[in-house]
Amino acid sequence: MEYKPSGVEWLDKVPEGWVIGAIKRTANLQAGFAFQSKDFSTSSGIPIVRMNNLSKGLLNLDSPVRVSDKLIRPEFYLNDKDIVLGMSGSIENIARVQKFDLPCALNQRVGRFFVHTIDADFLWYIIQSREYKEQVFLSATGTAQLNISSEQIESCVITWPELLSEQRAIASFLDRETEKIDRMIGKQERMIELLKEKRQAVISHAVTKGLNPNVPMKDSGIEWLGEIPEHWDIRTISRSTTKITNGYVGPTRGILFENGVPYIQATHIKKGVVNFDDAYFVRKEWSNAHSKSILREGDVLIVQTGAGTGDVGLVSNNEEGYNCHALIILAPRKGVISGGFLSEVLQSHYGYSKLYSIRTGGMHPHLNCSEVQYVKVPVPPRYEQDAIMEFIKAETSKLDRLGAKAKQAIELMKERRTALISAAVTGKIDVRDEAECVNCEYDMDGEPALLAAEAQAEYRTGSKD
C-alpha cells in the first residue's frame, strides 16, 4: 500500500486514494428533540432515547421514559442501524439502533448521524477510534459535565477510502475481529461475576456453618439461616452490641467545610469497608456536640436509607474519630463478637436477606434501629470467630487476585480493540489481504490472551479445591 502525507499532525500518513476532511463532508448530526418532562410516562407511549439509554454500543430500553406518539414529530423517530451518540455528560457513549428497539424517538442531548457519502458501518468504527475520541474531548466544553454540539462533532477530522467497497471491506474485517475480542472480554466478565458469587458463598458458609465440616449441627430456628454448629450461640444484635444508634440525620447545610473532622456518608460505604474520599468535613466543635455518632475502630456501619440501604462497612483504625451522617452505628460487645465477624455476617446471604426483609419505604427504602436491634446473628466463640476471619481473609484474597487479573486482561483487550480499530480506519494496516494482519501488532496474541488464560486456569484449579 502506498502512503501520502496527510497534512494533519496526529494523523501522519494515509494511503493513496484516501480522503481527509471533516465529518460533515460525509455525514450530518441531528440533535434530538427537547421533550418536556411533564409529558414523561413510565407506562405508556413511545420510548425516548436519552443519555442513560446508551450502553456498551447498544440501547438499553428496559425501563425507558415514554411520551405520547402525538408529541413526536416524524423526523425524530429512529430507524434500524441508526448511529446515536451522547452530547452531554458521557459524551463517549455511542449506540447502534436495532430492530427490536423500535419504535423509539430521539431526545435532546443525544445525536443521530445521517450519512450521505460514507458507509454507515465504516463511520460506526471511525467514532470508536482513538483519533476521533481525542478530538471530541478536546472540543467539548464544561467541567463537571462535558457538552458538545452537532457542529463541533461534524468538524472533527477523519480520513476514509474513496471507494465504498474498501470502506465496507474494512468494516467487515473489524466486525469479525472485534467480535473475537468481545467474546474474550465476555468470558472474563463472566468469570468476574462467578468470582463474586464464589466470594459471597465462601463468606456466607464460613460465618453461618463454620470451618469444620464434621462438627455436630443444630437447627437455628431462623428462616434463611438453617443449621448452625451445635456449640454456637444465637443472639440478637441488641445483645451482641453495647451501642445501636444513628449518625446525624438533620440538614447538612451550614455544617460542611473543606477541612476538619471527616464526615462519613452512605456513598462511602461499600463492600464491607469505608472509602472516605475527602469530600465532607465538619468542625471539631460540631462533632464533639454530636458525640454519639463519633466512630470507633471496630464499629459496624449500616446504610440506613436510599439506594444503598443495607450496605455494610467496618470502621478501621483509619476512620477512628470520624463522624457520620444517616448511618446505623453498631458497637460490638468485645467479649461476645468482633466487629469484623459481625460485619461479615451482615454481608452474608443470610444477613443481606434479613436486613432486606425489614426494610420499609418501597421506592425509598429505609432501615430503623428499632428493627435492626432484633435481628438475630450466629455467634461462635471468640477464638473461632478469629479463625473464621483469617480463613475469609486468605480465601477472598485469592479470589480478589484472580478478579484483578481478569480486569487487567479486560483493560488490555479493550486497549487492543481500540488500537485495532484506529489502525484500520486510518489506513495503518491493509485489511484487503487479511493474511497480512494475522501476526500484526494489533492482534490479540500476547499479554491480554496470556492474562486471560492464566486467570481462567487459576479459577478452574481453585474451583476443584
Q: Is the dihedral of CA 342, 344, 350, 353 positive or negative?
A: positive
Q: What is the pLDDT of residue 152?
A: 96
Secondary structure of residue 262 in the 3-state scheme: strand
Q: What is the pLDDT of residue 459?
A: 59
Q: What is the pLDDT of residue 441?
A: 46
Backbone angles phi, psi at 343, to 5 degrees: -60, -45
Q: What is the pLDDT of residue 143?
A: 82
Q: What is the pLDDT of residue 28?
A: 97
Q: Which domains does the chain have, with CATH numbers?
A: 3-162 (3.90.220.20), 173-210+381-465 (no CATH), 215-379 (3.90.220.20)
Q: What is the pLDDT of residue 363?
A: 80
Three cell numbers written together for 296: 470507633
21-31: per-residue pLDDT in tens? 999 999 999 99
> Which mean pLDDT values do the consecutive 10-residue runs of the chain (465 residues) have?
87 92 97 96 95 94 95 97 94 95 97 96 97 94 90 96 95 96 95 96 97 96 93 97 94 92 94 90 96 97 93 96 96 96 97 94 89 97 97 96 95 95 94 54 54 60 58
Q: Is the dihedral of CA 66, 70, 75, 79 positive or negative?
A: positive
Q: What is the pLDDT of residue 439?
A: 38
Q: What is the pLDDT of residue 455?
A: 59
> Could you tell me the CA-to-CA distances from 47 to 33, 67, 79, 424 in Å, in that order?
13, 7, 13, 35
- Measured CA to CA, the distance from residue 42 to residue 465 in angstroms comes to 48
CB proximity list for 322: less than 8 A, separation 6 or greater: 261, 262, 263, 264, 274, 276, 294, 295, 315
Cα-Cα-Cα-Cα dihedral of 98, 103, 105, 110, to 10°? Answer: -10
Q: What is the pLDDT of residue 435?
A: 44
